[in-house]
Amino acid sequence: MTMAIFLNGMSRTEIRDLTMAMIASGERMDFSGLGKPTTDKHSTGGVGDKITLPLMPLVATFGVAVPQLSGRGLGHTGGTLDKLESIPGWRATLSNDEIMAQLRDEGGVICAAGSGLAPADRKLYALRDITGTVEAIPLIASSIMSKKIAEGTGALVLDVKYGSGAFMRETERARELAQTMVELGADAGVATSALLTNMHVPLGRTIGNANEVRESVEVLAGGGPADVRELTVALAREMLALAGRDDADVEAALDDGRAMDTWRRVIRAQGGDPDAALPEAREQHVVTADRDGVLVEQQALPFGIAAWRLGAGRARKEDPVQHAAGIELHAKPGDAVRAGQPLFTLSADEPARFARALDAVEGAWRIGDPGEPVDDGGPLVLERITA
């Protein structure tokens, strides 16, 4: 069946029927008793994509509940739960009653999805993996949307990435996936939209786990890298608009500390200490510019693979991650650099990991002359897709 779908595709009705059958294979959560709208976000994943961390408390600040059921990283794509588990005491596994209580009391939650949501998806994914049909768009869309619809959110925004570090590298394929998922949401009665976003270069200036938490907290404090703030604000506006709160001033909530206050409450509610020191790697390796010029290229995928090799990611679901491992980018495409200036720093607990990480980024960045075109993949948000 998976091979037939891969070769022949599926109609909108067929994808809907498959997705609804997958949802019916398990439980379905119901947040109608909260007395407030619910909205969620799903990202197809990328390099340095820590947006869920500042986004959830920002949206929850406006009286909209955010049930953010998230996953772990695999390969070069980081996992939200892995990042948050670098916070001492924070726990990812909550019961359904705990999720409901936290949404009611704090307005938001980031936790692991329960095994009862769309269990048929796990069986189908295992089949797709061994039959080489993982990249079939109907199967990708039904896999993502079966869990999100079963989760019970009233509105859903999809962050569908394209570019060198994205699951769907080609813009047209990313657009097709986004449209398919938006239609599935509409067919299931969930207000759904999608933003096509650029993953040609790493998002922000950190790649890893603990370092991405630090950067997220900077955004919640009104600072942080411009691209992380821009995408956080864009997705927050979209989520709130679908939940009926299109009058919300999300930038003000970042700048005046309200989103930070929500973040601290949510972290504490899940056992974490928002004031605790985050893990620091024992070893560092700094790569410097070999000439004056402008950084004109910085490919996301090789930097994601390098962070994985440093210990920030995993090859198999059961592998551990090193929370302190990762990369800090001191320059982004378009920045002027001088010879000897640090371009990026690799961090790991074992120095033996540096060689393979450096191999991964060989040829992935380039310094050009002033005026040379910068290969940044274009605008951060390319377009909005609705049903």
Hey, which residues are catalytic here?
A: 42, 121, 128, 143, 147
Q: What is the rounded distance in angstroms from the CA atom of residue 307 to the CA atom of residue 345? A: 11
Q: What is the rounded distance in angstroms from the CA atom of residue 212 to the CA atom of residue 323? A: 10
- The pair phi, psi for residue 347, each rounded to 5°, is -125, 135
Question: Do the Cβ atoms of 278 and 210 come closer than 8 Å?
Answer: yes
Q: Provide the 3-class DSSP secondary structure of residue 340.
A: coil
CA–CA distances in Å: residue 73 to residues 82, 320, 367? 7, 10, 31
Enter the DSSP assignment of 308.
Answer: I
Question: Do the Cβ atoms of 52 and 68 come closer than 8 Å?
Answer: yes
- Which of 329, 323, 311, 130 has its CA nearest to residue 228? 329
- Which of 142, 164, 180 has its CA nearest to residue 46? 164
Helix (H) or strand (E) holding 266: helix 258-269
Q: What is the rounded distance in angstroms from the CA atom of residue 222 to the CA atom of residue 116? A: 38
Q: What is the rounded distance in angstroms from the CA atom of residue 137 to the CA atom of residue 210? A: 33
Q: Is 246 exposed, middle or buried (0-12, 13-18, 19+ CB in 10 A)?
A: exposed
Which tokens go with 340?
A: 């000897």
- Which of 156, 21, 151, 101 has its CA nearest to residue 270? 101
Q: Provide the 3-class DSSP secondary structure of residue 36.
A: coil
Cα angle value 78/81/87 (rounded, 5°): 110
Q: What is the rounded distance in angstroms from the CA atom of residue 97 to the CA atom of residue 95? A: 5
Which tokens go with 66?
A: 């955010």
